[in-house]
Amino acid sequence: MRPFAPLSAYSDEPSASSAHEVPEPVPFKAAWLDPEARFLRPELPKPPVIPLEDVLGARWAQWIRQAAQSKAAPPDYVAVALLSVAGALIGNTRWASPWDGWAEPPVIWAMAIGSPSMNKSPGLDAVLTPLKEMERAARAKVETGLSEWRGKAEIAKLAEQTWKEAVKSALKADEAMPARPDAACPGPEPVLPRFALTDATVEKIGVILAGQPRGAMLARDELSGWLMGMTRYSGGGSDRPFWLEAYGGRGYSVERMGRDPVYIDRLTLGVLGGIQPDKLKTLLFKSDDDGLLARFLPVWPEAAPIKRPDTGSDDGFLQSAFERLLSLDMHDDETGIKRPWFVQFSEDARCLLDEFRQTARGWEPGAEGLLLSFAGKLPGLTIRLSLILAYLDWAGGETEMPREISQVHFGRAAHFVETYVLPMARRAYADGSTPKAERAARRLVSIIQEQRWQSFTTRDVFRMERAGLSAKADLDPALGLLEDAHIIRAIPEPAKPQGGRPARQFGVNPALWVSK
């Protein structure tokens, strides 16, 4: 496997095609120094190309491309939905464990970013719709038994009441206590399977997971409302601690008003949904810095070309694969409590993991803010992906059931993270990973290039009415950064005859207009 690349390899350097040709730049007596390249890069990095065949293999890549084409959506949306849903179906039946003391659940939180015209929802539905159909079929099988149980439960209430009255009478008469009748015990309530939750309170999710220990997933068409609404929890608390634990599969107790709390041994929930770029930007600036957003695998591709599909997707293949994943069982420990099977890493996979962790540590100094938090979680995310990829191979009929995570499994996951996940995160979280003044400076450079300014005044900038540059408090730091970066230079102006305030004018480094 080739060496992992440094974070700087994913930077977008300005190209000659983006430079503006201006015949006669404003001359200055003093020579200009070279402008700092970081302010000349695009504010939004271009998306990477998803390496489907390299990561998921030919059969799954073919299905993803066909499904994406049938939905007029980028294949990225379909692929990330597949990874998230497959991880949720595996759930607590299998966890990946590189060595004793480290285990990761196959939980993937995925965020499909894009405008409404990009067909986010149809792309996710290519995976979610068959999943929901399977849930309806599974629920139909249980509902008959549930109806019978409810009838027994009503009889059990009457039997319980009659027995209690008999106990009271026996106590008064000092007689032997009557045995509790079998009819007072209806047996355990059948659990209706839930694969994909759309909108449920923490209390309700707790009840569902208490009866379904393998876990589930939350699938939301729009994630912004869910994320912003976490502080509106009944009782004055917040849902954020619950969801922070749900990513890691830790034990959690859900308190319920007026009822006994529900304890979940392994709180394991996948999350999948879409969000618009402007909503994400709002969240980046207003959300608490507790690592919640950094847990999401963001996907923000280019829009798919408008094209009539050649063929439809093979839903039978997907359904068969999902059924195999659902056939996985949890392990009963020596006390009868259900727990995951811990899938160990091979020695070669451990060595590759060691190398990857060193490389990932080297990415962190080149990151800031949310991107730094995201980069710190990449080793754990890669372990999760390696488990999911191994079981997707098996579910798709390509291999035998995996008994360990091999070097090949982890290598494919690491390749995916290095070439796609990290560059995509740099694109998605650019606003949240860049200081405010630097964001404003980049926007000002964009305006300079757009307007082909050789010189400009602060009044010229204010007239543009651009977000982040419409107030003096926002513009001044940006001007200072660009002066320090040798991109602009203040031009002194003589005072006006009436003693008015001199205009603030700036010259632009001619290097911005010279093709290299």
The reported pLDDT for the residue numbered 378 is 96
Q: Is 96 helix (H, G, I), strand (E, B) or coil?
A: strand
- Name the band, by pLDDT with cuts 50, 70 and 90, for residue 433: low
Q: Using CA of residue 73, residue 314, residue 214, residue 341, what is the dihedral sign?
A: negative
Q: Which helix (H) or strand (E) holds 143?
A: helix 120-173
Look-up: residue for tokens 């990973």?
433
Which range has highest mean pLDDT (137-141, 328-332, 360-364, 408-412)?
408-412
- Per the prediction, the chain carries an average pLDDT of 85
Task: Encode 146-180 in three state secondary structure.
Answer: HHHHHHHHHHHHHHHHHHHHHHHHHHHHCCCCCCC
Q: What is the model's pLDDT at position 234?
A: 41
Residue 18 has pLDDT above 50, yes or no: no
Predicted confidence (pLDDT) per residue in 192-244, tens digit: 889 999 877 888 888 899 889 999 999 999 998 888 777 544 444 578 888 88
CATH class of domain segment(s) 16-35+435-513: mainly alpha
- Rounded mean pLDDT of 327-352? 92
Q: CA–CA distance from 101 to each of 96, 98, 143, 342 (Å)?
A: 11, 9, 41, 11
- For residue 164, pLDDT over 70 is answered with yes
For the chain, percent of residues with pLDDT exceeding 90:
49
CATH class held by domain 54-138+191-433: alpha beta
CA–CA dist 58, 193 (Å, integer): 32
Please state the domain extents for the chain.
16-35+435-513, 54-138+191-433
Q: How far apart are CA 165 and CA 159, in angstroms?
A: 10
Q: How much is the pLDDT for 370?
A: 81
Q: Which of 30-39, 98-107, 209-218, 315-324 has the lowest mean pLDDT?
A: 30-39
Query: Kind of pairing, strands 505-508 and 488-491?
Result: antiparallel
Long-range CB contact pairs, 451-456, < 8 A, 24+ = 452/20, 452/22, 453/508, 454/22, 454/25, 454/26, 454/507, 454/508, 454/513, 455/26, 455/491, 455/505, 455/506, 455/507, 455/508, 456/505, 456/506, 456/508
Within 13 Å, how many C-alpha atoms sit on residue 432's CB side?
Answer: 28
pLDDT of residue 409: 97
CA distances from 342 to 225, 325, 345 (A): 35, 16, 10
How many C-beta atoms lie closer than 10 Å to residue 89's C-beta?
A: 29
Q: Which pair of structure tokens corresponds to residue 226?
A: 């869910």
Average pLDDT over residues 163-172: 86
Percent of the chain with pLDDT over 70: 87
Q: How far apart are CA 91 and CA 191, in angstroms?
A: 17
Gyration radius from the chain CA atoms: 29
Residue 224 DSSP class: H
* H or E stretch covering 218: strand 216-222
Q: Which of 369, 295, 376 is nearest to 111 (CA)?
A: 295
Please give the Cα distance from 104 to 93 (Å, whole number).
12
Gap between the terminal Cα atoms of the chain: 35
Q: Which residue has the higher pLDDT, 62 or 373?
A: 62
Q: Do domains 16-35+435-513 and 54-138+191-433 have the same CATH topology?
A: no
Q: What would the mean pLDDT of 334-344 be, rounded to a whole number?
A: 90
CB 52 within 8 A of CB 64: yes
Tokens found for residue 475:
């513009």
Is 432's pLDDT higher than 70? no
pLDDT of residue 15: 40
Q: What is the pLDDT of residue 278?
A: 85
d(CA 439, CA 410): 36
Q: Enumerate the H helices of 234-291 as residue ranges.
A: 240-248, 277-286
Cα–Cα distance for residue pair 60/69, rounded to 1 Å: 14
The predicted structure's pLDDT at residue 288: 56
Cα-Cα-Cα-Cα dihedral sign, residues 463, 469, 474, 480: negative
**Closest listed residue to residue 424, CA positions, set 64, 38, 84, 110:** 110
How much is the pLDDT for 193? 86
- Give the containing element (helix H, strand E) for 322: helix 315-326
- Lowest-pLDDT range of 13-17, 212-216, 221-225, 247-251: 13-17
441-454 average pLDDT score: 90
